[in-house]
Amino acid sequence: MRSLQTEIEQRGARIFELVDRHPEPLFSKAGFYQRLMALSMRDERFKVQMFRFVDVLPSLRRSGDIVQHLDEYFTDMRNGFAPLVRTGVRAAKIVPWISGQLLRWNVSGMARQFIAGKNPDDVMKTLRKRHEQKIGFTVDLLGEAVVSEKETDEYATRCLELLEHLARETDGWSDPLDDGTELFPVVNLSVKISALYSQTNPADPADAIAHLAPKLRPILRRAKELGVFINFDMESFSHKNITLDLFKALFAEPEFRDWPHAGIVIQAYLRDAEKDLVDLIDWGRARRTRFTVRLVKGAYWDYEKIKSTQNGWSIPVYLQKPESDANFEALSRVLLENESIVTAAFGSHNVRSIAHAQALGDELGIDRTRFEFQLLYGMAGPVKRALVEMGYRVREYCPVGELLPGMSYLVRRLLENTSNEGFLRAKFSDNVSEKILLRDPNGLVRESPNGAGNPDSVSKDRHLLDGASLDVPPGDVYENAPLVNFAYQQSQEEMRAALRQVRARLGKKYPLVIGGERVWIDRTTASLNPSAPDEIVGDVAAAGIPEAERAVKTARDAFAKWSRTPFEERARLLERAAAIMERRRYELSALEVFEVGKPWAEADSDIREAMDFCLFYAQQMRRIGRPRLTQHVPGEESYYHYWPRGVALVIAPWNFPIAILCGMATAALVTGNTVIMKPAEQSAVCGAMLMEIFEEAGVPPGVLNFLPGHGSVIGAHLVDHKDVDLIAFTGSREVGLKIWESAGITRPSQRELKRVVCEMGGKNAVIIDSDADLDEAIVDSIYSAFGYQGQKCSALSRLIVLEENYDRVLERLLSATASLRVGNPEEPGMTVGPVIDKTAYERILSYIEIGKSEATLAFQHQNVPAKGYFIPPTIFVDVKPNMRIVREEIFGPVLSVLKARDLDEAVKIANGTDYALTAGFFSRSPANIERAKAEIEAGNVYINRSCTGAVVGRHPFGGFKMSGGGTKAGGEDYLLQFLLPRVVTENITRHGFAPEETPLYRDEFRVRG
């Protein structure tokens, strides 16, 4: 008996032989397009610019804009294409109308290679042609990027219309193999789940399924009546479990239980694909009805890698191409071995993968009409033809829709076709030999010098982490703590368990901690759950003046020793604290849900940020801790180093209740200051937890003192205290400015000039340019404005939209806001929870009233819980720059939309505020993006992404003007503000003799003894 490998090689050779009989280049459309693709494969920068240009083009309405973008994207290219573009652009500027049309036509041509038709009528032409070629079809409706429930309803309606149309038009068509229609209906529709619910949150599969199932049932019902096959496509990893659960839930319902014409996709590039497939097969056996699995490698490889790396998640996909190939083969075996319950559809263009499935099918004695090969429209035409000639069942995946909604599909195809790793490029462009193309991928994995790629290790090269090279960006020497990935069921369960556990101890009492002692006093403040204000989260001691005095004295006394403690020991304290936070991570997040109304993921990112502050500042302290030589000069050495300032008063807000408190306190601690830590009254239990963590981590008595209390009672007293040397404050402008002023007054017997590290509010603007990608701009703007109820100092409150786009943006913005989930954040998928307390609630409502009198109320969310401090997300239009709602900080879910004539006016409006904290700009014009980078006045300017969510080390955070003193939390310079610089100079010459070498660094200067 011949080995499987020999069989595969033989079949592969046969396919190649048939393919070579009808040679076809990788890109079937000749001319312009082929040249572009060839160039893209040679020149990575050109490829990036080209894909970006293709991406923006359909949204440009005027020919002049098209020419302008062409110019911006390509004229500084240095390759063979540049002279052509330059000439083209010059000519185009003379006759923009003609050139704009020409470019649009060419890019449409490019899209037509992959998109089978603009509409149901149009696609029928392709399907008829394929039918004659004995190729079946599955149709996919483009436009999955939905931002609102209105858009999902439209998509569902279009799906139904498409079904009817296809069924009507193919009436009487026979099976291409004249066999097996009961397994393979003629009409086959591929559905993308993400297009049917705009609020899918990976943390809340139950909610997603509860919304998706009613949308899908009518489609399935009609499909069943019409004898149509429905396939659930698979999208990004975050949707995977939801898609699988939904499939299993729907097709187990009595109505659909016996219906065999349902299929789902398994992506072999996922590490957990085999487990999912085996689970599905078990489910299928219990259901006792056939179903289909389309096995693919997967279309979102780049996205998954980028997203996971950014969030510090374990990467769910294999990292080496042969691993995906090998897994595809392993899963092919699982599928074919279970042919009695599952029909296999192999979705691949790779001749090796295809030949493997064929050989295995034969080995297992499965008739070739009982499974099928599926390939994408516009790709690998000769392979399809060869398979038909060999008597296999072939189905083509035919996307239908306009170019604009089809853009993400088109970009995925362009990436795939030009990928260095891809089979199609290797075979049809790079002419790699058959022998190489048919190699066993398992052998390649084994032979790889790195073995199988490690999902946790790609984020950084180790050599980068020592920061040895000057070329390394400063943030790169630090690797952030990971976020929790709530797409995993285990994370969801841990969070639910933590919520139960924290709920059980609500109402506990918390003391002050001064000098390591728990101080119980009668005066307490109840911290309430803003979702249910009758629930007391904790009763926290409220310090008065005597306790404040005691805390200052204790901190002062502890300073002598702590300031002389080696920085390495102080850094380790922070690292131990981070490790404890990691251990108690879910519990801390759960507490934030109760105490400050944070949705799950927001709470988790607060804990991550706190850990990051500990770890980042520990690392930064090591960087600056040792005395450093100022200059090499013979006979003398001067060392620059730092001393701590003294007693630091840390006054923190409630909106990032652990992260900001922790960030300011750890910066003070690691630099050798002693600390009085005053949390906000509304989040004092979170503060108590942080204290507990530091006690467990071993902070010496008196070095960190926990002093919750009312700002009006102890705040001013401590700020003015002669023995407080530094005040680190984050909070409102009103309080911040008072501190700034009062700290400038020198009190009798005060030792030091007080240093104030001050972060205040913002009135942050986002500009949406006329060529912006609205799918992204709308979603990110909504998140920036309404995420955590707009209670982030970075939150968006002024959305500035260019006139040209205004109506389109507004229409989508309002319906997307109407779709937001508002409710108790104990529920996992909530986007908008309650505002912090009654005062905030009343203040925000009064601003809404002001808004109604100044501007036009365009939208107010209707579905808001009656109990708790819930404020409906609210949008005002007809807003003018001088109105109160655009000048004053509201700190709630209220958004003003302003119309700007052009970018000049938009930037002017954005900058026309007292604040300069964050800002955002959505655009696909390279020139406008450069302009925004240069001109927008804000401490943190974000392009083409939300303006909230700064990450320590990556986005050092803080503003200027009335937003703050220009400090950058989580940045390289931050610790310097907690330090006094010193220089020690020694004449090292003795009678004209001096050592030749002076070390760059010295150990810390310490008294020996």
Ligand X SMILES: Cc1cc2nc3c(=O)[nH]c(=O)nc-3n(C[C@H](O)[C@H](O)[C@H](O)COP(=O)(O)OP(=O)(O)OC[C@H]3O[C@@H](n4cnc5c(N)ncnc54)[C@H](O)[C@@H]3O)c2cc1C
Residues that bind ligand X (CB under 6 A): 233-234, 265, 267, 269, 294, 296-301, 317-321, 323-325, 347-350, 353, 374-376, 397, 416, 421-423
SS3 sequence, 898-913? Answer: EEECCHHHHHHHHHCC
The catalytic residue among 793, 889, 937, 947 is 793
Report helix, strand or coil for 243: helix
- Identify the residue whose tokens are 């002389």: 564
Q: Rounded to an integer, what distance in angstroms lies between the CA atom of residue 187 and that of residue 163?
A: 8
Q: Would you give the distance in Å from CA 307 to the centre of its chain?
A: 6
How many beta carbons lie within 10 A of that of residue 346, not counting itself? 26
Is residue 784 within 8 A of residue 947, CB to CB? The reply is yes
Nearer to ligand X, 296 or 777 (CB): 296
CA atoms within 13 A on the CB side of 544: 6
Q: Where are the alpha helices (DSSP H) in 434-544?
A: 434-437, 441-447, 462-465, 489-504
Q: Where are the alpha helices (DSSP H) in 57-80?
A: 63-74
Distance in Å, CB of 480 to ligand X, minimum: 24
Cα separations (Å) of 146 from 152, 219, 497, 815, 987? Answer: 6, 18, 33, 11, 71
Distance in Å, CB of 270 to ligand X, minimum: 9
Distance in Å, CB of 268 to ligand X, minimum: 8
Distance in Å, CB of 59 to ligand X, minimum: 24
Q: Per-residue b/e over 655-674, b at no fewer than 16 CB within 10 Å? A: bbbbbbbbbbbbbbbbbbbb
Structure tokens at 984: 């020690």
At 799, which amino acid appears? L
Distance in Å, CB of 297 to ligand X, minimum: 3
Q: Rounded to an integer, what distance in angstroms lies between the CA atom of residue 688 and that of residue 518?
A: 11
Distance in Å, CB of 375 to ligand X, minimum: 5
Nearer to ligand X, 126 or 353 (CB): 353
Q: Rounded to an integer, what distance in angstroms lies between the CA atom of residue 592 and that of residue 594?
A: 5
Q: Choose among 760, 787, 763: nearest CA to 945.
A: 787
Nearer to ligand X, 265 or 650 (CB): 265
Q: Where are the alpha helices (DSSP H) in 745-837?
A: 774-786, 803-818
**Taking the C-alpha atoms of 178, 183, 188 and 194 in order, what is their torsion angle to the nearest 10 degrees?**
-160
At 262, which amino acid appears? A
Distance in Å, CB of 813 to ligand X, minimum: 30
The catalytic residue among 602, 681, 759, 827 is 759
Q: Rounded to an integer, what distance in angstroms lies between the CA atom of residue 668 and that of residue 445?
A: 50
Q: Please enumerate in sequence order all residues whose Cβ is within 8 A of that of 234, keeping only pairs 6 or more positions apart, or say none.
A: 240, 243, 264, 265, 266, 267, 296, 298
Q: Are strands 960-961 and 915-916 parallel, antiparallel or unpaired?
A: antiparallel
Is residue 659 within 8 A of residue 794, CB to CB? The reply is no
Distance in Å, CB of 138 to ligand X, minimum: 7
Distance in Å, CB of 867 to ligand X, minimum: 43
Q: Rounded to an integer, what distance in angstroms lies between the CA atom of residue 253 and that of residue 746?
A: 76
Q: Where are the alpha helices (DSSP H) in 703-792?
A: 716-720, 733-743, 774-786
Q: Choose among 263, 372, 271: nearest CA to 327.
A: 271
Q: Please enumerate in sequence order all residues whose Cβ is within 8 A of that of 824, keeping only pairs 6 or more positions apart, or say none.
A: 531, 532, 830, 833, 834, 865, 868
Distance in Å, CB of 74 to ligand X, minimum: 28
Structure tokens at 119: 């509409």
Q: Rounded to an integer, what distance in angstroms lies between the CA atom of residue 904 and that of residue 898?
A: 14
Report helix, strand or coil for 155: helix
Is 793 catalytic? The answer is: yes
Q: Rounded to an integer, what distance in angstroms lies between the CA atom of residue 540 and that of residue 178?
A: 78
Say which DSSP state 633 is in.
Answer: B
Q: Choose among 564, 852, 872, 545: nearest CA to 703.
A: 564
Is 323 catalytic? The answer is: no
Distance in Å, CB of 225 to ligand X, minimum: 25
Q: Rounded to an integer, what distance in angstroms lies between the CA atom of residue 338 and that of residue 319?
A: 28
Is residue 396 within 8 A of residue 388, CB to CB? The reply is no
Q: Rounded to an integer, what distance in angstroms lies between the CA atom of residue 408 and that of residue 115?
A: 12
Distance in Å, CB of 421 to ligand X, minimum: 4
Nearer to ligand X, 346 or 616 (CB): 346
Distance in Å, CB of 690 to ligand X, minimum: 41
Q: In what order do the strands lie in the sheet with 512-514?
A: 517-519, 512-514, 704-706, 674-678, 647-651, 726-730, 755-759
Catalytically annotated residues: 759, 793
